[in-house]
Structure 1
């Protein structure tokens, strides 16, 4: 009897351990503050492939995982356009990436992305994460999920992760501009006071 119990315990442990390992493998934890980011090559809405390395003169990036279909992402579009207008010329351009599976969300197809970008007159790249290979590396969970990256001697480093500000649906109610404060600090050579916040939005569709 004791032998059977022991065997059952081992089997349960192996199953639980395997599930945990598979969960980590599939979902991952993504980049943390201070991690060096691996470059990628994704298709932009103009049909051309784009990498972060293409931006030779940038000081860093405002990287945003967003989409067409999430109400939170839509509510942030004008603010994202404003961020690019204000900070691209200062060395921190916006790079938007759609991480959603278009088979699950047809409204996030490449053609729909092109249409939305044209309607809103996006002045920044809007890339498609084909095969959903990039967003897991960053650990993105929501749309929008936002990152500030800075070029350093050791590579492109994560400096901020989280929300754009403290009012996901109503831009008039914004009191704290988390992402903009992070970019301002970097431009002024200062330490970012709030490096991480909770991203508010829709779950990424797989």
Structure 2
């Protein structure tokens, strides 16, 4: 399995970092793009350096490298996850504005009918934000807001982060025990 992970300039970069860590544990090949703004947010919100995050991934690409292999439909990968997804990125994807590596790989993912998972990080949402997400959903993209669940009785922030990563793994059919599944 090959997964493209894009971390954009929204609060919540720890979701993307944790996703990379869990994919690495599963020995899944990852292709990482970090937006320039996200690099600043990583330094601000976490104890990780950008180099630390880059080293978790199997491959790393610059946000402005439109010749990167992941931007070609002939490069076979299974899914793209944009986590967190800024509203700027959501808007660009919704409108087919593929001006950088992140937006282009999302465009390729949709046109090739591969899995695109968007983890939007904004609140509250404007109508245009919602409409952009609806447009992506209509094209087959999956919108997975990082909304906490409580049926697994989380005790820590890490429990809440694992819940979201577990939901992503469930969509990708990756076996996981990151949270206790709903039981009746």
Q: TM-score range by the shorter chain?
A: 0.3 to 0.5
Greater relative CO (CA pairs within 8 A, separation 6+): 1
Q: TM-score, normalised by structure 1?
A: 0.32
